């Protein structure tokens, strides 16, 4: 299983004091916003749809209900950022890292995520339906009630994640190692084909047997 390379931010990163002005310039000239550090900013009201960010660090920023549809992020680090309920359909993430962030209810449908890591990220009710994940690691993440349906994936790792009422409908879990995860319940199709070939512990197998209507007893 391949692991994502961390973003290699090229110094120096200039502190960006007026993000709204920088976004306006980028939108007018169809330029890429790059080589910047954004700290403590509230980006909730900015229209960022379709913009590209390269070699940027966002630290302790808020994106509540932010509009990020079709944005591109390459070599970007998000630290302690709150993207709860952000709309980011069709977002492209390449070699990005999310550290101690919140993506509660974030809409990432049809996302493309390559060589990215999510560590200690709160993601209940996040929606990644029909996304494409390649070399992605999610570690110590809360995926309760998240929708991960119809995903295409390769080299996707879930490590110590919370899976409670998490939807994997039409997302095959063959060869996925879920043994370190906390599994409470999963949502899959009626024939349970998504679960075939998944690696689980005996205790997790008992939990999953309830999906089949089995009553497991000694």
What is the 3 state secondary structure string of the chain? Answer: CCCCCCCCCCCCCEECCCHHHHHHHHHHHCCCEEEEEEECCECCCCECCCCEEEEEEEECCECCCCECCCCEEEEEEEECCECCCCECCCCEEECCEEECCECCCCECCCCEEEEEEEECCECCCCECCCCEEEEEEEECCECCCCECCCCEEEEEEEECCEEEEEECCCCCCCCCECCCCEEEEEECCCCCHHHCCCECCHHHHHHHHHHHCCCCCC
Q: For residue 116, what pLDDT is reported?
A: 98
Categorize the per-residue pLDDT at 131 as very low, low, confident or very high, splitting at 50, 70 and 90: very high
pLDDT in tens, 69-118: 999 999 999 999 999 999 999 999 999 999 999 999 999 999 999 999 99
Could you state, in order of their start, the residue ranges of all structural domains in the chain? 51-212
Categorize the per-residue pLDDT at 216 as very low, low, confident or very high, splitting at 50, 70 and 90: low
pTM here?
0.93
pLDDT in tens, 6-55: 898 887 788 887 878 888 888 787 668 889 999 999 988 788 889 999 99
- CATH number given to 51-212: 2.160.20.80
């Amino acid at each position: 299983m391949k692991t994502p390379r961390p973003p290699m931010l090229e110094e120096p990163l200039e502190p960006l004091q007026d993000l709204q002005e920088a976004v306006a310039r980028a939108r007018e000239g169809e330029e890429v916003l790059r080589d910047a550090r954004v700290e403590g900013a509230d980006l909730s009201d900015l229209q960022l749809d379709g913009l590209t960010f390269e070699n940027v660090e966002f630290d302790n920023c808020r994106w509540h209900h932010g509009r990020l549809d079709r944005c591109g992020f390459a070599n970007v680090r998000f630290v302690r950022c709150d993207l709860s309920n952000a709309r980011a359909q069709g977002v492209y993430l390449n070699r990005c890292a999310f550290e101690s962030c919140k993506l509660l209810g974030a809409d990432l449908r049809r996302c493309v995520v390559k060589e990215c890591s999510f560590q200690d990220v709160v993601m209940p009710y996040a929606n990644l339906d029909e996304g494409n994940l390649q070399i992605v690691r999610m570690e110590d993440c809360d995926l309760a009630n998240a929708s991960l349906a119809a995903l295409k994936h390769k080299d996707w790792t879930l490590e110590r994640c919370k899976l409670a009422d998490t939807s994997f409908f039409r997302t095959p879990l063959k060869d996925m190692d879920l043994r370190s995860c906390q599994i409470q319940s999963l949502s899959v199709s009626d024939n349970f084909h998504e679960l075939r070939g998944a690696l689980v512990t005996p205790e997790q197998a008992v939990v999953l047997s309830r999906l089949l209507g089995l009553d497991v007893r000694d």
